[in-house]
Each structure stands twice: as C-alpha cells, then as structure tokens.
C-alpha cells in the first residue's frame, strides 16, 4: 500500500515545503522508493526546489482537480531527482475553492483522483498551503499520515493544538479513520530558553509525536535558493543530518 503523508500548518514559513521536498527526495534517493510529491500551494515552491519550471506553463494540480477525466499521469512531471515525480501547483489554485463550490463532493476530489496509485508509487507526499480551507481539507482526506511542522515561537503552541483538533474533526466528520497526526516537528529552532520551553510544552501535550527540533541551518536555505534538495546540494551538512533524522522518524512512524 502506498503511504500517504502530508505536511500541514496553516502558518506560512514554518518549513512545510522544505520538509515535504527533502523527505520525499530522501525516500526516492536514499531508499530507492517511487515517490510522488503533490504540491497544493499557489506559490509553486516545491517545483522551484526541484528545478521544475512551472512558470513556463503546463498542467498542474488545478487541472487534475477541476478537469473532467484528467488523470494523475497527465499532470505528473519528472524531476531532477531519480524516482521522484511531481504534480506541481501554481497561482490558479487560488481559484479552486470557487470553482469547486457547487460540487457536493468537493472535499474528496484530490482523494478520488489519487485513489488508484498503489501500483505506481510507494509514497505520495503532500505539500499543503498555509491556510485551512477546502484545499487543506482535500489534502487531509487524501492523506493518512499528518506531519505538523511547528515554528518554535510562543504563539505556535496554540496553533499546533488547533491543527491537531482540526485533523481529528475532519477524520470524524468524513469517516476517515486512518487519518492521524504522526509527527510534530519543532522547526526554525534556535537554542534559547523560550524555544526550549516551547519544545518542552509540545512534548507535554503530545508526548509521542514530537521529534527532535530542526535547528536553523544555512545550507537548508541555500539548497532551496539553488533549486536543489539538501541531498544534492550539501549532503554532508548539519542541515542534511537534521533532515535525515526527521525523514527516518517519519519512515518508522507507520
Ligand atoms: N532548518 C532551516 N534552516 C534554515 N532555513 C530554513 C530551515 N527550514 C526552512 N528554512 C527556510 O525558511 C523558508 C520557509 O520555509 P518553507 O519550507 O518554504 O516554509 P513553508 O512551506 O511552511 O511556507 C525557506 O526559505 C526555507 O529555505
Ligand atoms: Mg510552502
């Protein structure tokens, strides 16, 4: 069975795309697994990080979700990473909620379109947009394992508890019993007393799910700016070690 893993947080800039891309590339490159990365954000950053040019046009996840009879193969692109494929996203995704508003099954469009991929992929990884709404509900219903990257800032604690509650609500409301939060990753971590208190609080609330904090590391930012995964750009960096620890935890979290 294909594992379906989504990176979710309604805040932007917390490391969703960085984790989604590098964890997907980890499974593809280091584990020789076949991986499909599905971007749902209007910014198209997953494509950028994988050296795929979405500005030049071509089909995106919007066409998959809104086109009658459009199937995943028609919108999937090869990436610079072997074994890793991408369904890119771009600005038109902003129109998806309006476009789908009258469809009674609008929350399940992504899940339905990606239902038949067990033969083709070992992992489907979702990079969610920084908001809660129809797109994120679609991601929650298409995924089973949820990873929440949480910036180690004071207000992030509240946000994290709300997101866990939302995942539980969607799971109940739609009868999606397999959906669960498997990992909470403290991100953008700098060793300060406040950051350590926040990590400690997260561990108290979610004793099983919280992973080691992801420190800030300049190689991670640089890799993204060069359109490369950390495994290509700086495989021996501290950033690569940190991302590998997260990827291995997710791998074991089944
Ligand atoms: N551990 C890290 N160290 C340094 N920079 C990071 C780290 N994680 C993410 N970044 C940088 O922070 C920015 C926001 O991260 P991103 O993954 O795009 O967040 P999101 O998808 O949640 O908006 C990016 O420029 C990324 O390169
Ligand atoms: Mg992002």
Phi then psi for residue 90, to 5 deg, are -155, -175
Output the CA 116–ligand 1 centroid distance in Å: 32
Measure the CA–CA gap between 88 and 107, rounded to whole angstroms: 19
Closest CA to 87 of 137, 139, 132: 139
Q: What are the structure tokens assigned to 118, written together?
A: 């067990």
- Cβ(13) – ligand 1 distance below 6 Å: yes
Q: What are the structure tokens assigned to 66, written together?
A: 């809104």
The SS3 of residue 245 is: helix
Residue 227 CA from chain centroid, whole number? 17
Q: How far apart are the first and last CA of the chain?
A: 12
CATH of region 3-252, choose from 3.30.70.580, 1.10.3860.10, 3.40.50.300, 2.40.37.10: 3.40.50.300
Q: Is the dihedral of CA 157, 241, 52, 7 positive or negative?
A: negative
Parse the chain into domains and list their residue ranges.
3-252
Q: Which ligand is nearest to the CA of 9?
A: 1
Query: What pLDDT score does 180 carry?
Result: 96
Per-position pLDDT tens, the chain of length 254: 899 999 999 999 999 999 999 999 999 999 999 999 999 999 999 999 898 988 888 999 999 999 999 999 999 999 999 999 999 999 999 999 999 999 999 999 999 999 989 889 999 999 999 999 999 999 999 999 999 999 998 888 888 999 999 999 999 999 999 999 999 999 999 999 999 999 999 999 999 999 999 999 999 999 999 999 999 999 999 999 999 999 999 999 87
Output the CA 20–ligand 1 centroid distance in Å: 11
């Amino acid at each position: 069975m294909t594992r379906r893993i989504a990176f979710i947080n309604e805040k932007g800039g917390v490391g969703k795309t960085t984790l989604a891309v590098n964890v997907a590339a980890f499974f593809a490159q280091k584990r020789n697994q076949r991986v499909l990365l599905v971007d749902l954000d209007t910014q198209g950053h997953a494509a950028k990080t994988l050296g795929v040019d979405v500005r030049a046009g071509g089909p995106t996840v919007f066409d998959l979700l809104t086109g009658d009879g459009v199937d995943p193969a028609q919108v999937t692109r090869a990436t610079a990473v072997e074994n890793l494929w991408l369904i890119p996203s771009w600005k038109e995704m902003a129109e998806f909620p309006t476009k789908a508003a009258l469809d009674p099954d609008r929350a399940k469009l992504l899940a339905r379109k990606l239902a038949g991929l067990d033969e083709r992929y070992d992992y489907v990884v979702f990079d969610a947009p920084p908001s809660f709404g129809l797109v994120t509900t679609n991601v929650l219903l298409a995924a089973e394992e949820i990873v929440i990257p949480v910036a180690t800032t004071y207000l992030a604690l509240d946000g994290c508890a709300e997101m866990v509650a939302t995942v539980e609500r969607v799971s109940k409301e739609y009868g999606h019993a397999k959906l669960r939060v498997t990992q909470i990753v403290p991100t953008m971590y700098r060793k300060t007393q406040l950051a350590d208190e926040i990590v400690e609080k997260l561990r108290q609330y979610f004793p099983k799910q919280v992973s080691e904090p992801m420190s800030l590391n300049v190689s991670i930012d640089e890799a993204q700016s060069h359109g490369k995964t950390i495994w290509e750009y700086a495989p021996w960096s501290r950033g690569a070690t940190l991302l590998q620890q997260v990827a291995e935890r997710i791998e074991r979290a089944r």
